[in-house]
Amino acid sequence: MLVELICFLIVVIVLKYFFYDDDVIDIGTSDFNALFTVAERLEKLYGGKAHVGLQIPDQDSGSRQSIDLVLVTKREAVVVCVKNVSGFVSVDKDGRWVCTGGHKTERLPDPVAEAKRLVPILESYLEQRGITLPEGYLSCKVICSNPSFRTIVSDSFPPEVITYDQWIQLKPESNMLSGWIKGAFHGGKKEMQESIHEKLNLVLSTAPMWDRLELKGNKFVLGEFLEFKGDNEDIQALGNIRRSKVSKVTIQKTSMLGVASSKLQVLYCPRDYRGEGASASDWKEVTVHSRTEIKILPKGSTKARKYKLSSVISLSLSA
């Protein structure tokens, strides 16, 4: 009986190691998941394109400023700050958020002030790339996407804040975000707006951004790709996947005929600086062991994390 129990435990451990992607269940991805959930819903509600995880160069500070997402429609563009905050939330006299949940109270810097600060930084960057926006075209919003978000005094929040209760009630009433911007296009011409819309999407799609790791289970991580970890032969096979050469990596399983021989097919797309897009024939592929790992430094963290390649769907690398 003891021998059978030991054998059973060994089998469970082996199966868990090779088949159960524990990195997918990663509480550190929750804030990133909120960004992509909000972006997807905004696109469905109002159309347009949501650009997630931007890092916009700021000449004044000499550093890059992180923007959660920018939604671009044919009528407007909005800098959106996503707050995955839970508990009872109020606003103090200085605009800071006081969040009380469980047995602790946390104070957060004013999210609206932060969102407003990012608007001129983005406008300046766009001007450097040849786009001058009409007055009022670009605005900002703070969206509270956590179902556990509760307001103590809802009237104390600035109009730029969309609380969770308001968030779930938003409807695609028009091409504008439920009146988020009023009078922004007086005297504007439709042709000019269409031109700005197209140029803006092109510039933002090529702007600096965080590397993006997509995991199984609809999980995401934004951060800086560091390296692959694994056997020497696998690392050598993956040697061509470098930021200067590659923009996109996808992972596919190739064989599960035996636990020990499980392999992964890694497809990677060469970076195209001409902006013409890579064709199917441009994709390269290598085969590595499923135990190979990918190492990334998540945005806002000082500690790098490793994920098994078997839990990864794709990796997008910023230029």
DSSP one-letter string for 214-245: EETTTEEEEEEEEEEES-HHHHHHTTT--TTT
Mean pLDDT, residues 275-302 taken together: 85
Asked whether the CA dihedral 18, 241, 54, 303 is positive or negative, the reply is positive
Based on the fold, state whether residues 133 and 251 are members of the same structural domain.
no
**Residues 94-107: what's their mean pLDDT?**
89
Residue 319 within any structural domain of the chain:
no
Structure tokens at 212: 């993006």
Instruction: Report whether pLDDT(275) > 60.
Output: no
Could you tell me the CA-to-CA distances from 243 to 131, 269, 270 in Å, in that order?
A: 27, 11, 10
DSSP H helical segments within the chain, as ranges?
A: 2-19, 30-46, 111-128, 164-167, 190-205, 232-237
Q: Rounded to an integer, what distance in angstroms lies between the CA atom of residue 125 and that of residue 58? A: 7
Whether 185 and 90 share a structural domain: yes
Which pLDDT score, from 0 to 100, does residue 184 have? 32
Burial 225-260 (b: 16+ CB within 10 A, else e): beebbbeeebeebbeebeeeebbbbbbeeeeeeeee
Is residue 246 located within the same domain as residue 299?
yes
Reported confidence tier of residue 136, pLDDT bands at 50, 70, 90? confident
For residue 8, being part of any structural domain is answered with no
Q: Is 104 exposed, middle or buried, given 0-12, 13-18 or 19+ CB atoms closer than 10 A?
A: exposed
Asked if 105 contacts 98 with a C-beta cutoff of 8 angstroms, the reply is: yes
pLDDT at 133 over 50: yes
By mean pLDDT, which of 76-80, 179-183, 267-271, 280-284 is the weakest? Answer: 179-183
- pLDDT for 30 equals 87
Confidence (pLDDT) at 27: 39
Mean pLDDT of the chain: 83
Give residue 288's identity as a one-letter amino acid code: V
Give me the mean pLDDT over the 238-247 stretch: 92
**Do 162 and 224 reside in the same domain of the chain?**
no
Burial call 24-59: b when 16+ CB within 10 Å, e when fewer: bebeebebbbbbbebbebbeebbebbbbbbbbbebe
Q: What is the mean pLDDT of residues 33-39?
A: 96
Bigger pLDDT: 210 or 189?
Answer: 210
CA dist 222 → 41, 57, 68, 131, 139 (Å): 19, 18, 10, 27, 24
Judgement on whether residues 199 and 225 belong to the same structural domain of the protein: no
Helix, strand, coil shares of the chain, percent, nearest 5, are: 30, 35, 35
189, 255: one domain: no
> CATH number, domain at 155?
3.40.1350
183 domain residue, yes or no? yes
What residue has token string 């958020």?
97
User: Is the pLDDT confidence value at 289 over 80?
Assistant: yes
Question: Do 188 and 134 reside in the same domain of the chain?
Answer: yes
Q: Are residues 194 and 268 in the same domain?
A: no
Taking the C-alpha atoms of residue 110 and residue 156, their distance in angstroms, rounded to an integer, is 13
CA 175 to chain centre: 24
Same domain, 150 and 293: no
pLDDT of residue 144: 96
Instruction: Between 111 and 255, name the one with better pLDDT.
Output: 111
The more confident residue out of 119 and 278 is 119
What pLDDT does 196 receive? 81
Q: What is the pTM of this model?
A: 0.81
Q: What pLDDT does 319 receive?
A: 80
Q: In which band, very low, low, confident or very high, does the pLDDT at 188 lie, cut at 50, 70 and 90?
A: very low
Task: Please report the pLDDT score of residue 6 as a whole number.
Answer: 54
Q: Is residue 2 part of a domain?
A: no
Query: What total number of domains does the chain contain?
Result: 2
Q: How far apart are CA 150 and CA 173, in angstroms?
A: 25
Q: Are 221 and 297 found together in one domain?
A: yes
Sequence-distant (≥ 6) Cβ neighbours of residue 235 within 8 angstroms = 228, 229
Instruction: Tell whether 9 is covered by a domain.
Output: no
At residue 87, the pLDDT reads: 93
Range of the domain at 244: 209-314
Residue 72 in domain = yes
For residue 66, tell me if it sits in a domain: yes
Residue 20 lies in a domain: no
Residue 171's pLDDT band (cuts 50, 70, 90):
confident
Candidate from 4-8, 18-22, 84-88, 101-105 with smallest mean pLDDT:
18-22
Q: Is 125 in the same domain as 267? A: no
pLDDT at residue 153, rounded to an integer = 77
Do 220 and 193 belong to one domain? no
129 vs 75, higher pLDDT: 129
